[in-house]
Amino acid sequence: MTLLSIDWFFLIEKLLLISVVLVLSLVVAMYATWGERKVAAWIQDRLGPNRAGPAGLLQPLADGGKLFFKEEIIPTNSNRFLFILGPSIAMVVACMTSAVIPWGDTLTIAGREISLQVADVNIGILYIFAVVSMGVYGIMLGGWASNNKYSLLASVRAASQIISYELPMGLALIALLMLTGTLSLKEIVEQQRHGLWNICYQPLGFFIFLVCAFAECNRAPFDLPEAENELNGGYHLEYSSMKLGFFLFAEYINMFISSALMATMYFGGYAFPWMDKLGLSPNMVTILGFVALFIKTLLFIFFFMWVRWTVPRFRYDQLMRLGWRVLIPLALVNMLGTGAVELFKHH
């Protein structure tokens, strides 16, 4: 059988990489909850969680344990299957995106070149776009299956918000793609490694992408689907126990992934200044590059939190107006401008 002729080392290597990336994103998401509470506290002149472990570092474990052991409630009039499907989709989709992000260059161990990217698909950006557009199903199904008017309202909001903001996000990306000429994230990073970071060429595009990323992650100031004070928590109103945990967790994973994505596409990914001139061994450079990407990602996560605790929530009509009347025209202008400049350069 041809099954046996599969490169087993390759398979094991990829499986290992997938589990590492998955564990990494879960751990980062876990500690993002801790970070969120700490940042919120500091901004509000408080101390934040500091009882569980040194500086409250065991707090995520305590929270997770609590969520696991909480009573599980499924409303009588809900659609049981869809009710469980909702958080599952949210979680799976959140975890899937990390597959195409290049976490580093190649490592050479015992003569084997190991790429620190799960899959270098030649349509990386489109893949992310597709997966992100799946994410809304988790929220929609969860909210609808709860059979609760607040949840339903949140689902409707989530659907229209995410569809609206996918448009300017895609348009901002098109401008970036014109510049780089490739859909592969790895190549985008390699281009930035040998030149300037894309933020220098695409400041407006980055800004649009940033705003849209906030909206796609349902983060404040665009957290309308879960608006606590008007929808009682929105789509996860009826959820309890770990199913609620999955919804909350998925949000943090999304935040982590979109931070990594922004760092990759606009801020050089694993590239850092003078990385090829330090005279270090390639493996060392790769590890340093991974650290650089990680630091950039953490900075973006911090930025997400910083904005959340500064800017108040948008009203629904303001949200739609911003998306359709401001961001889309801006993105179109940005796209046209980039196209014109590219055309001018090539002639």
Partner 1 sequence: MQALTNRAKQVDRRPMTFAEKLYIPAIAKGMGITFKHIFQRKATVSYPDQKREFSPVFRGLHILNRDEEGRERCTACGLCAVACPAEAITMEAAERKPGEEHLYREEKYAARYEINMLRCIFCGFCEEACPKDAIYLSETFAPANYQRKGFIYGKDDLLIPDPKAQNK
Partner 2 sequence: MGSIQQIIFMVLSVIALASALGVVLSKNPVTSVLCLIVTFFAIAGHYVMMNAQFLAVVHIIVYAGAIMVLFLYVLMLMNLNAELEPQKRNWLKYAGAISGGALLVVLVAALRDASMPAMSTANNDIGLVHNLGMVLFRQYVVPFEVSSILFLSAMIGAVVIGRKED
Assess contact for 293 and 270: CB atoms under 8 A: yes
How many CA within 13 A on the CB side of residue 212? Answer: 30
∠ Cα 247 248 253 (to 5°): 95
CA distances (Å), origin 345, targets 178, 179, 180, 254, 342: 12, 11, 13, 37, 5
Residue 38 CB, shortest distance to partner 1, in Å, is 10
Quick one: which of 91, 128, 92, 101 has its CA closest to 17? Answer: 101
Contact 35, 299 (CB under 8 A): no
**166 touching partner 2, by CB under 8 A:** yes
Among the residue ranges 111-119, 224-232, 263-271, 305-313, the one whose residues contact partner 1 (CB under 8 A) = 305-313
Query: What is the pattern of x (binds partner 2, CB under 8 A) and - over residues 53-92?
Result: --------------------------x--x--x-------
What is the smallest separation between the CB atom of 45 and partner 1, expressed in angstroms? 5
Contacts of 139 (CB under 8 A, 6+ apart): 86, 90, 154, 155, 158, 159, 218, 225, 235, 247
User: What mask of x and - would describe binding to partner 1 in positions 256 to 295, judged by CB under 8 A?
Assistant: ----------------------------------------
Interacting residues with partner 2 between 3 and 22 (CB under 8 A): 3
In the shown chain, the binding pattern of residues 22 to 51 toward partner 2, with x for contact by CB under 8 A and - for none, equals: ------------------------------
| Look-up of token digits 């801790």 | 34
Binding site for partner 1 (CB under 8 A): 39, 42-47, 50, 306-307, 309-311
Binding site for partner 2 (CB under 8 A): 1-3, 79, 82, 85, 121-123, 126-127, 129-130, 133-134, 136-137, 140-141, 144, 152, 155-156, 159-160, 162-163, 166-167, 183, 320-321, 324-325, 328-329
